[in-house]
């Protein structure tokens, strides 16, 4: 009996202890549930939402680039894309292999995707393919449940409607490089592109805009169920250029297959109305993905289609520089319009003989006729008398040797040599023979086609220091326009003398007589130039094989022409350079005549560039 009682008490204590432990456990669990469900409810609700909701950045629409009339030069179009989220894909290689049955994926495409996966965070989507057609895009969407980590989407891609026509000015966009990303999450967005060349690069920060955001509900597989919240970003600012696309198109067509540059400039406000560099490249290739073969073809092409010859090309200006030499002499009082020199076709200086382009010579000439007939001997003689210092100073006043801040990458300053430059270059004093050669625009002197257009504009407008500009408006901001201040030390009378010489270039006995504008109620003044690319041997000169097409292309002279019109009230200046084209009078002058005629017919400066706000109102009204 006692044993039975003791046994009962023993089991009763054990049951009590067990019940107490259970009670403590239940109390702890209840307390924990209360803590999690009530005290920390807001925090865990947020965590649950974060697992259910996904915040995604929205790429902003890139600002458009427009010509002066509002026509699109760089715009955006709808783009169908496929992405891959590495952390959601069970096997990236297998997923890509399965996806390759629906869309075309080359080995290089797969390597690109693998490289991008390796360099960025695993939860970020990687672009697998873009610019898909609707049928392919639809097939990817149908198959996506069996393709873990694959997402499809729509966005905007850059489009250049005129292809190569403005590639050197507008530039192109391309994929973001690893060095560019930095701490900007927008640059990590799949398919996002940044400006790589031209104005696209120079104005990247203003064309890009600001990203928006989208909060979407996703399932356990990361598939989007619905969009919960959306905040639109700010699109990039639109840009209006001073260029006229119709004139640009005509200028490029007129240059044809030549390796050449053509500039049309308003002589009063500096607006560049055409800036054509040929050959060019298609910027859409860079946006959609250029092949290695096409890239290597562009790089190897001796005509350098990737180079904007208008601003980056540097060439001896040849005889187009003779107006500067004349002005330097007139301003110094060392020559006047009646100053004559005899041209026999050759000139002995030191132990060398220098020749005129016309072997039989020109006879006695005054300054105006020396410009009109482009007599080399005349300018050899006066250059020595004037001296390098005066010539260099005058060249700089007319815009040579300067960069104008056109916002186009690659703008070259050219070169106006001087005594100081020569000494700093090789420690050798300037030689008189170098001044003689400089007198006809050869030697170390270098200028770009846009610099020659500026020089011509300043002559045509009576000596106002006009500055070229190509960007008119960005957003609501009108690009600043520098005041064209009067040039120092250039009298109206001396300017008139030089302009008269340029008028006679297209009159009887002038070097561009055959390229004059005939009976059309319009007029033109100009100056031919032939830019020598190498020293000509005596044998070549004796056989007169100087400009013929029998010579290798890269050994032929550059053809140059500058001009303005109309003569009575100048409005537009043109500058033409044809690489290895031969003679300026036979090759460049006819091109300049046709382009100037077309410019006067269109008269683009009569219609000022549109404002983006006005253009937006027009588009809304059209809807």
pLDDT tens digits, residue range 365-419?
A: 999 999 999 999 999 999 999 999 999 999 999 999 999 988 888 899 999 999 9
Q: Which CATH architecture has domain 55-237?
A: Alpha-Beta Complex (3.90)
pLDDT-wise least confident of 123-132, 191-200, 456-465, 519-528: 123-132
What's the token pair of residue 581?
Answer: 């084209």
The whole-angstrom separation of Cα 234 and Cα 550 is: 59
What's the token pair of residue 373?
Answer: 């007939």
pLDDT-wise least confident of 65-79, 146-160, 588-602: 146-160
pLDDT of residue 162: 95
| H or E, element range at 404 | none
pLDDT at 47 over 50: no
Superfamily for the 245-606 domain: DD-peptidase/beta-lactamase superfamily (3.40.710.10)
pLDDT of residue 32: 67
Question: How many percent of the chain have pLDDT more than 90?
Answer: 52
Mean local confidence (pLDDT), 257-278: 96
Q: Is 623 helix (H, G, I), strand (E, B) or coil?
A: coil
Q: Which residue has the higher pLDDT, 126 or 406?
A: 406
pLDDT at 45 over 60: no
pLDDT of residue 219: 59
Residues contacting residue 59 through CB under 8 Å, at least 6 positions apart: 155, 156, 186, 189, 191, 192, 211, 233
pLDDT tens digits, residue range 63-120?
A: 999 999 999 999 998 878 787 787 777 777 787 777 877 887 777 777 777 777 777 7
Averaged confidence pLDDT in the chain? 85
pLDDT of residue 83: 78
pLDDT tier, 60 (very low <50, low <70, confident <90, very high otherwise): confident
pLDDT tier, 18 (very low <50, low <70, confident <90, very high otherwise): confident
The whole-angstrom separation of Cα 427 and Cα 419 is: 10
The whole-angstrom separation of Cα 406 and Cα 136 is: 43
Mean local confidence (pLDDT), 290-314: 92
Query: Which of 326, 456, 336 minimizes the C-alpha distance to 391?
Result: 326
Task: Please state the pTM of the whole predicted model.
Answer: 0.83
Mean local confidence (pLDDT), 245-271: 96
pLDDT tens digits, residue range 4-16?
A: 666 556 567 666 6
The whole-angstrom separation of Cα 596 and Cα 599 is: 5
pLDDT at 324 over 90: yes
Domain parsing of the chain, residue ranges:
2-39, 55-237, 245-606
Query: Assign residue 198 a region: left if phi > 0, alpha if psi is -120 to 50, beta otherwise?
Result: left
């Amino acid at each position: 009996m006692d044993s039975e009682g003791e046994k009962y008490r023993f089991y009763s204590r054990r049951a009590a202890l067990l019940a107490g432990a259970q009670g403590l456990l239940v109390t702890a669990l209840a307390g924990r549930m209360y803590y999690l469900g009530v005290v920390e409810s807001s925090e865990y609700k947020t965590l649950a939402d974060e697992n259910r909701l996904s915040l995604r950045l929205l790429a902003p629409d890139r600002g458009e680039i427009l010509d002066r009339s509002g026509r699109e030069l760089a715009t955006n179009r709808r783009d169908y894309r496929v992405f891959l989220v590495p952390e959601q894909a069970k096997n990236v290689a297998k997923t890509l292999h399965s996806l390759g049955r629906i869309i075309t994926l080359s080995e290089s495409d797969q390597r690109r995707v693998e490289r991008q996966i390796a360099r960025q965070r695993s939860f970020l989507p990687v672009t697998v393919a873009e610019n898909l057609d609707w049928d392919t895009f639809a097939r990817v969407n149908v198959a996506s449940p069996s393709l873990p980590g694959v997402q499809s989407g729509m966005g905007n891609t850059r489009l250049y409607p005129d292809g190569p026509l403005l590639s050197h000015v507008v530039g192109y966009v391309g994929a973001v490089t690893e060095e560019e990303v930095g701490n900007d999450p927008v640059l990590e967005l799949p398919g996002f592109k940044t400006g790589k060349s031209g104005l696209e690069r120079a104005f990247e920060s203003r064309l890009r805009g600001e990203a928006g955001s989208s909060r979407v509900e996703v399932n356990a597989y990361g598939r989007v169920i619905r969009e919960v919240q959306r905040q639109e970003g700010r699109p990039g600012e639109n840009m209006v250029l001073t260029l006229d696309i119709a004139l640009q198109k005509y200028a490029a067509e007129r240059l044809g297959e030549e390796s050449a540059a053509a500039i049309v400039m308003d002589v009063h406000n500096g607006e560049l109305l055409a800036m054509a560099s040929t050959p060019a490249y298609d910027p859409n290739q860079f946006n959609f993905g250029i092949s290695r073969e096409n890239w290597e073809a562009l790089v190897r092409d001796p005509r350098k289609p990737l180079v904007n010859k208008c601003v980056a090309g540097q060439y001896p200006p040849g005889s187009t520089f003779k107006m500067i030499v004349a002005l330097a002499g007139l301003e110094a009082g060392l020559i006047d319009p009646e100053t004559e020199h005899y041209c026999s076709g050759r000139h002995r200086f030191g132990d060398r003989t220098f020749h005129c382009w016309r072997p039989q010579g020109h006879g006695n000439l005054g300054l105006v006729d020396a410009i009109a007939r482009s007599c080399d001997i005349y300018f050899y003689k006066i250059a020595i008398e004037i001296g390098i210092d005066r010539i260099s100073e005058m060249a700089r006043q007319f815009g040579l040797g300067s960069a104008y801040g056109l916002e186009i990458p690659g703008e070259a300053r050219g070169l106006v040599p001087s005594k100081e430059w020569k000494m700093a270059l090789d420690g050798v004093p300037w030689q008189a023979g170098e001044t003689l050669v400089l007198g006809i625009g050869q030697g170390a002197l270098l200028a770009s086609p846009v610099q020659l257009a500026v020089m011509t504009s300043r002559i045509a407008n009576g000596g106002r220091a006009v500055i070229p500009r190509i960007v008119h408006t960005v957003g609501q901001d009108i690009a600043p326009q520098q005041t064209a201040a009067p040039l120092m030390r250039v009298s109206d009378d001396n300017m008139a003398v030089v302009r008269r010489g340029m008028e006679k270039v297209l009159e009887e006995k002038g070097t561009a007589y055959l390229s004059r504008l005939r009976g059309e109620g319009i007029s033109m003044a100009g100056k031919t130039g032939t830019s020598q690319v190498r020293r000509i041997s005596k044998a070549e000169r004796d056989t007169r094989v100087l400009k013929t097409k029998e010579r290798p292309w890269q050994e032929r002279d550059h053809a140059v022409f500058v001009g303005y019109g109309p003569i009575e009230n100048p409005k537009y200046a043109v500058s033409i350079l044809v690489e290895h084209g031969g003679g300026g009078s036979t090759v460049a002058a006819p091109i300049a005549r046709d382009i100037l005629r077309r410019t006067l017919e269109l008269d683009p400066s009569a219609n000022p560039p549109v404002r983006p706000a006005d253009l937006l109102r027009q588009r809304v009204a059209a809807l």
